[in-house]
Chain A
């Protein structure tokens, strides 16, 4: 059974800092790994999708990497802004494209 862990659970950084969020998964037989953002009381917004054959994906200030063999993914956020404050979730996709989610990292970017 796939298990996904995210550390840290919460993170507070000053505006402008670069930061890394970590995600680890126990079963390396995944089709892809997806990173989401969730604002309080809202649904999930897809940020990046990394296919199992890929090593990384970039979108603007976001860069996600995937190392299947070690069961790890990271989300790098460059030059953080207060608007980046949210909970970030990673999810590993297995059979029937069912996603197994981590418990998330709650990020606060302060002025």
Chain B
């Protein structure tokens, strides 16, 4: 069966510090991968998605970047965090094919102080 992992589970970082969040998927190959952010009191916003290694599409202009160095690894990064980067970050995967479900990881709670 497929599983999706995210770490760390929680993170408190000062403004201006770098960020690296990691997501890995097990039990599948060549998945589509997604990063979402859920800010307090707001809905889920798609940040990035990837259909293959090295292929990243950005949905909104922001202070963050994403990379996919391996087939089942998706990384969210920032060089300098802003207060507005605080939120709950969720990684998701979906099998190839337009009719498949998306499955979500447990999330990372990021607080920027």
Interface size class of A (residues with CB under 8 A): 20 to 34
Number of B interface residues in the complex (CB < 8 A): 26
Residue of B nearest to A98 (CB): B46
Most buried by B among A89, A93, A97, A99: A97
- The B interface, classified by DSSP as helix, strand, loop or mixed, is strand
Which of B12-20, B69-77, B94-102 interfaces with chain A?
Answer: B94-102
Is A79 part of the contact surface with B, judged by Cβ < 8 Å? no
Min Cβ gap A50→B in Å is 10
A32, A97, A102: the one within 8 Å of B43 (CB):
A102
A103-B100 CB under 8 A given contacts A96-B49, A98-B49: no
Interface string of A59-88 (1 = CB under 8 A from B): 000000000000000000000000000000
A31, A42, A46, A91: the one within 8 Å of B99 (CB):
A31
A89-B44 CB under 8 A given contacts A43-B90, A97-B94: yes
Is A101 part of the contact surface with B, judged by Cβ < 8 Å? yes
Is A51 part of the contact surface with B, judged by Cβ < 8 Å? yes
Q: CB distance A103 to B102 under 8 Å?
A: no
| Chain A hits for B34, CB < 8 A | 98-99
| Chain A hits for B51, CB < 8 A | 96
Q: CB distance A44 to B90 under 8 Å?
A: yes
8 A Cβ contacts from B21-38 to A = 32, 34
B residues apposed to A, CB below 8 Å: 6, 32, 34, 42-44, 46, 49, 51, 57, 59, 88, 90, 92, 94, 98-107, 109
19 contacts between A and B (CB under 8 A): A41-B107, A42-B106, A43-B105, A46-B103, A91-B102, A96-B32, A96-B49, A96-B57, A97-B32, A97-B100, A97-B102, A98-B34, A98-B46, A98-B49, A99-B44, A99-B102, A100-B46, A101-B43, A101-B44
